[in-house]
Structure formats: C-alpha cells, structure tokens
Structure 1
Amino acid sequence: MYHNWLDRWDERRARRGEEEKETTDFVLDAERAFPGVKEVISLEAFCDFANQAVVDLAFFDEPSGSDQGFQKQDGWLRFPSGISTDVDENNVVWAKTTESGSFDQVVVVFHHWNATSRNRQITKFFSRRGITVVEIAMPYHFERQRPGSSHADYMLSANLGRTIQSVRQAVWDGRKLLRWLRSEGYREISVLGMSLGSWVAGLIAAHDPAVSKASLFLTAGSLADMVWTGRATRAIRDSLEPAIGLTDLRRAWAPLNMEKYAHRLARPDLDLHVVLAKRDKVVLPELSERFMHGLKVAGARPNILYLNCGHYSLARPPYILLAGLSLKRFLSATAKSAR
C-alpha cells in the first residue's frame, strides 16, 4: 500500500516537471559538439565524429588547463568557463562553498537536471564532520540560467551538438575547479553527482586522476537510453523520434555514455559509491544494472545501495536518510590511494 502511494507521488512530481517542457526542433549542430569540424549535414557524419571523440583521450581535457580567473568572496567562487557559448550568463561558473575548517577532504556536488536550489542539509551535515562541500552550477543552471528559460533546456535537449557541448562544458568546469582546489591544498577530492549530475561527476572521475572517490546517485551508463526511456524526458524523445531512433541516438551521444569509460572508472585508486532506486521511472533500473555489470566486468567494485523508492521520492524520509548515512560512511572511509 505504501509503495503504491509512493509511486503515485513520484508520478505527480514528474507531471509537475513536465508542464514547463515543450517539444523543440531536432538539430545536429555538430560544430558545437566538435569544434573545428566543417559543416556536418548528415547524421552518419555526426556519428563518425562522436566515435572519434570516444577514443580521443583529450576530448574531456580543457586545452588551456588553466586554473586562473578564480574570485572568492563570502563563500562563493566565480571563474570563467573553458567553453564560450552564446549565452553570456552560462560562460561564468558559480560555486557555493561551505568550508569545514580542514583541508583534509572536499566533495564537489553536481546537482540534478533543472535543480532550482542547492542542498543546505548536505552542506551542513558534511561540513560539520570535517568535509568541505562545493556545490557547482552546471551549465544553464542556477546563476548560469539562460534568460527567459523556464528550465535548463540547453543542457539536455533534441539539439545533439549542444547537449554534447553542455556536458563537455560541465566536465571542463568541474575539472578546472578540481585543479584549483588541489592548488588550495585539499588533499582528498571527491565528487558527488545526482541524476544528470551523476553523468558529469562520473565522466570527471573517469578522466581526472585527482578524484579519489566518486558517489553517483540515480545513475546509469547510456545517456541516450535514459532520455529515450525516462519519465522526465518525454518531451525530448517526442522531439527526437521523428528524425532519429534509439540506435542512432546511442551512436550520436556515445561520448556521453559512461559505459564507454568503465575501464577508467575501474582504475585501482578510485573508490565508487552508487545509490539506486528500485522503483525509478526516470533512470530505469535495467539501465543502471547494465552499467553496474559493465563496471564489474571492467574490474570495479562499486559500493551499491539499493532503495525501494522512486527517482523523486529518494528525497523523502527514510530514503534520503539512508542514502545520506551510506554516503557518510563512504566519504569517511580511507581512500584506496591512501591505503
């Protein structure tokens, strides 16, 4: 009975989020995804460039590698993004810092798609336990929101190229922040990602050896499959479906598929923590399980917590408390790199 009520609660929450989303045009926009390429007018050519990006070890490396331009004031960090877009607000990265008074450990938080507020409970809980928390704004979120938009429609959309650019920008921004934190003296750096934020956190952990721990909430490997099957992205699928099928979408968004980087996430000096919802209609459990299987085959041993709730109801007691305690134990444990 309780779980039937919980499912209905999740569905009502999903419908509220759906009200502001509209179908849009399907666009390749390869120049955004793969800077320097000539005009691409065919899906097949786009997919060829996507395949090249998967094997390009530097695709998620910011060319300049700069940690300059940081401004710190009253618990806030501001710095220029390594990718310049046509939305000025999006070109400046904002991050809220809650310091713990210790440089032993810091965790960088990447929130879910269309997040409207940062999480004071998480920051207070961990900062009081000696872990500094930095909540970064992903592209088109919070202070980086596109003027006039009702949600972060440029972060994830039927524009294939802009979606790749946005996730790549989020990874570059996160890695730039990690370099700065390292230069400030933080000894252990962890990342925490929630839903769409888990893709960003996971890609950073896969490509940046500075990350010693990665906690991924409500995650899977294939972003294409999540968008195609998920309850929160029906408007995007409706926009995509007249022009592209799931098989081609997987090829086009291959650089954003964490299954492609399972071997990197299995590196011996990285600890992985995963929280999954058994009743999730946004990130389907079968997609999560496929990703977990791929990680294990690659040699990773993720610490997995399964909760009998939905995507949105994870934020409700008792599930959020169980997830929080599991995360606390994970972050408090000795990292592999120190063992």
Structure 2
Amino acid sequence: MLSQLYAKWMVSWETALTTRDTNRIVRPLEWGFDWLSGFTAPDTKADLDRMIVANQEIVARSDQFFGYETPIDFRLEDRHPQLFPTNIRPETLAQDADFKRRAEAGELDPVTFLRFTSPVTTPYPENDVVNARWYPAPAEKQAGKPKQAMIVMPQWNADAFSHNALCTLFNKFGISCLRLSKPYHDIRRPAELERSDYAVSANIGRTLSACRQAVVDIRSCIDWLEQQGYEQFGVLGTSLGSCYAFIAAAHDPRIEVCAFNHASTWFGDVVWTGQSTRHIRAAFEQAGLTQQQVRQLFLGVSPMAFMEKFAATSKRVLVVHATYDLTFLQEFSLDVLKNFEKYHIDYISKVLPCGHYTTGETPYKYIDGWYLGSFVYQSFKKLALQTA
C-alpha cells in the first residue's frame, strides 16, 4: 500500500516538473538533409526512406561521421558567469537578473572558460564557438599520480550553472574538469531561441548534426587536455549528455571512465515516449510517422547502434537510472544493462527511487551525487594505481 502511494506521488511530482515550462513549441517535421552532406542517398527515394538510409550510412561510416581535425584556436577566456535560463518562470528570471546585477556591481569574480571553434560548423556562429568552464584541480591534489580530467555534460536545456557542483567535487579528488556547454546551449544558444530546441527537434538532420557536433567537441576537449599534459580521461553525461558521452566514448579509446546519469538504448524511443519531448512527438504524429519509424530516423545517434564499438575497449562504467523516470522510461535503461551484459562491458548499476526531473530535487540529488562522485573517485584511483 505504501509503495503504491509513493509511486503515485512520485509520478504526480515528476509530471508536474515536466509540464511547468510553457515555452515548448511544436515545430513541423523537417527532414534536414542539408545537415548531412556526404551521408544522404540520392533524392530519387521518398524522404522517409532516404533519411533511414542516411542513418544507416552514419552507423556504417561512424568513424568518418564523428571524425574531425583538432582545432588550432584553443584559448582560455575569463568572464563573469551567466545563467542563460531556458524557462520563463518568474523565479528563474529573477535569479538571472540577480547574476547580471552582481556582475555589473563587481560582486562576482570572473571565471575561466576554454573556447575554440568547433570542427563541425552550423549556420549559427554563436553555436560554433565551443564553451567549457574550466575547473583545474589544485596542484597538490594532483601530485604523485597521472594528471586526470573529466568532461562533464549536463542535461538537455540545462542552464550554465547545472553540474558545476560536480566539477567542484571532482576537483577535491585531484581531477580537473571541463564543464562543456552542449551545442545550442547557454552561451551557444542562438538569439532566436528561448530553449535549446535545435539540439533535439522535429528537424531530423539538425538533431543528428547536433549530436555529431557534441561528440566532436568532447573529443576536441580531450585534445586540449592532452596538450596540457593530462593522461587519463573520463566523461560524465546526464540525459541527452549521457547519449553524447556514450557515443564519444565508443569512438575515442582515450575515454576510460564513463558515468551515464540516465541512459537509454534508442534515441527515437525516448523522443516518442518521454514526457519532455511530447511536443516533438506531436510533430511526428502530425506527419503520420510511427514510433518504429522514428527509431530508424534517429538510428545514427542511438547508443544501441554503437554498443559493440563501445565494448571494444576497456572502460569503467556507471549507469544511474530512476524507477519512476517518465522521460527515459525504466525499460529503456534496463535494456542498456541487458546489452552491457551481452557485450561483457564492466559496469556498475545504481537505481534512484525517483524520476528523471526529480533527480535534481532534494534528497535525490544528493544520492545521485554520491553515486557519481564515489564512482569517479574510485575509478580514477584504480587507473592511477595501474600506472604506478
């Protein structure tokens, strides 16, 4: 009885959190073939079939799709932190205004960001300048072991302060961090948008391209870290960031520590069934598409398509999922674990007694932080001992 009441309460709370933002927009289906130059079939096929073939080509030639040339304009910039909110709730707008006021009054210290031009270009200049807040670990914490670093990627529509506390925590372990702004997020968000809509939308090609850019940006950050003398690397991704982190790790053997905070096998299934993507599903339904077709249309950015590639190199892996997740349904997270078993991937699984959005609420955010923090600490400690 108590468990049923708890489940009902959790689903109600989760639903309230996923419906409180009123600025989600239903945009019509766009195929976006122009975003996938070199991977599209001749236009003699119907658009649906042509895009399915394009996804198959992306998977078959994924080393090329997610390949890149190392940027040559890495630089560190100091500026005052800003929130860059994606919702229009009064309390969030007030918080944003307060940060701006404090910066103008000299009450905020500047912080350091890594900036460089993304190897993947888009029609949006602001999006093509990669932004990663730099959290170098204190020298005394790094002494006596290999230099270690994490790339941290928050969830879809995260503001610029999301996950910063994790970076500070990892610094205490002697692990430096780059908190990477995903494509179309915070300072990279085009001025025409209130939300980071172009990262995941009913424009198929643009969504695939956003994932491509995110993966390449992660790998480019590791290039810069190597130039600074770092030797051991990990990624932590939450929700959409988890998808990006998985695909980056599948294509870059330098990534040895992987923390996936909410995970799924199929990108299209999450879009179709998740509460936070109802507006995108509405566009697909209006166009007459089915869930199975949407799965095929996002094959090229689905972790399931790269499971064997991910398993090809040794990694330490954590998967955190939530029992009452209405965005990444629990069945999809369990499918990840099933496939990790199938491919003999060394992983740890942790379960939160909450949902997707409630993971960020008290007390669940502290439980989640403990799972992530303890895993990262132990994993890098073991890596250091291997090289001692």
Matches within 5 A, 1:169-318: 169-243=213-287, 244-318=289-363
Are 2:187 and 1:139 aligned? Answer: no
Task: Decide whether aligned partners of structure 1 residues 178 and 153 sit closer, same or farther in structure 2, where only a CA change above 3 A counts.
Answer: same
> What RMSD over aligned residues (CA atoms) do the two structures have, in Å?
1.9
Shift of 1:170: 0.7
Q: Secondary structure at the match of 1:90?
A: coil
Residue 53 in structure 1 maps to residue 58 in structure 2: yes
Shift of 1:36: 6.6
**Is the CA contact (8 Å cut-off) linking 1:105 and 1:130 kept in structure 2?**
yes
CA–CA distance in structure 1, aligned partners of residues 212 and 56 of structure 2: 15
Residue 335 of structure 1 corresponds to which residue in structure 2? 383
Residue 192 of structure 1: SS of its match in structure 2?
strand
Q: TM-score, normalised by structure 2?
A: 0.82
8 Å CA contact 1:271–1:335 kept in 2: the answer is no
Q: Contact between 2:42 and 2:50, CA under 8 Å: does it hold in 1?
A: no
- For residues 9 and 226 of structure 1, the distance between their equivalents in structure 2, rounded to whole angstroms, comes to 20
Q: CA deviation at 1:132?
A: 1.0
User: Do the aligned partners of residues 320 and 177 (structure 1) sit closer, same or farther apart at CA in structure 2, a change above 3 Å counting?
Assistant: same
State the Cα distance separating 1:54 from its structure 2 match. 0.6
- What is the rounded CA distance, in whole Å, between the counterparts of 2:38 and 2:182 in structure 1? 20
Aligned to 1:153: 197
Could you report, residue by residue, the CA deviation over 1:61-106 in whole angstroms, capped at 9, with x for unpaired residues? 334x223111113321110011211111111111101111236211
Say whether residues 1:62 and 2:62 are aligned partners.
no
Q: How far is the alpha carbon of 1:51 from its aligned partner?
A: 0.6
Query: What do the CA deviations read for 1:106-148 (whole angstroms, capped 9, x no partner)?
Result: 1111111111132332122221221112111111001101112
Mean CA deviation greater in 262-271 or 109-118: 262-271
Aligned residues between the structures: 337
CA deviation vs aligned residue, 1:12-49 (integer Å, no higher than 9, x gap): 111113x1111111011122034474764521022112
Q: Given residue 51 of structure 2, which amino acid in structure 1 is its aligned partner?
A: F
- Asked whether 1:6 is paired with 2:44, we answer no
* Contact 1:270–1:337 (Cα < 8 Å) also in 2: no
Secondary structure of the residue that 1:154 maps to in structure 2?
Answer: helix
**Aligned-residue offset at 1:325:** 1.8
- Residue pairs, 1:159-170, within 5 angstroms: 159-170=203-214
Match of 1:31 in 2: 34
For residues 203-253 of structure 1, what are the alpha-carbon distances to aligned partners after superposition, in whole Å with 9 as ceiling and x for unaligned? 001110110111001111111000000000000000011222111111121
Q: Any idea what SS the aligned residue of 1:305 has?
A: strand
Name the structure 2 match of 1:76: 113
3-state DSSP of counterpart to 1:58? helix
Deviation at 1:326, TM superposition (A): 1.9
Give the distance between the partners of 1:210 and 1:38, measured in 2 at CA.
Answer: 33
8 Å contact from structure 1 (residues 34, 49) kept in 2: no
Q: Which runs of 5+ in 2 are unaligned?
A: 79-111
Which letter does structure 1 place at the counterpart of 2:344? G
Structure 2 letter corresponding to 1:68: I
Query: Which amino acid letter does the alignment assign opposite residue 108 of structure 1?
Result: I
Q: Distance in 1 between matches of 2:346 and 2:167?
A: 27
Identity of aligned residues (%): 27
Aligned AA (2:17):
R
What amino acid does structure 1 have at the position aligned with 2:386? Answer: A
Shift of the alpha carbon at 1:59? 3.4
Q: Which runs of 5+ in 1 are unaligned?
A: none
TM-score by length of 1: 0.94
Distance 2:169 2:384 in 1: 24
Partner of 1:108: 151
**SS of corresponding position for 1:79:** strand
Question: Partners in 2 of 1:39 and 1:140 — Cα distance?
Answer: 29
Q: For each residue in 1:264-308, what CA deviation from the matched residue of structure 2 results, as whole angstroms up to 9, or x when unmatched?
A: 222342111111011000100001111221121011132110111
Letter aligned with residue 328 of structure 1: G
Contact 1:272 / 1:303 at 8 angstroms: preserved in 2? yes
Find the structure with the greater CA-based Rg.
2
Moved more, 98-107 or 183-192: 98-107
Q: Which SS does the other structure have where 1:59 is aligned?
A: helix
Q: Does 1:15 align with 2:63?
A: no
CA contact (8 A) 1:269 1:336 kept: no
CA contact (8 A) 2:74 2:116 kept: yes
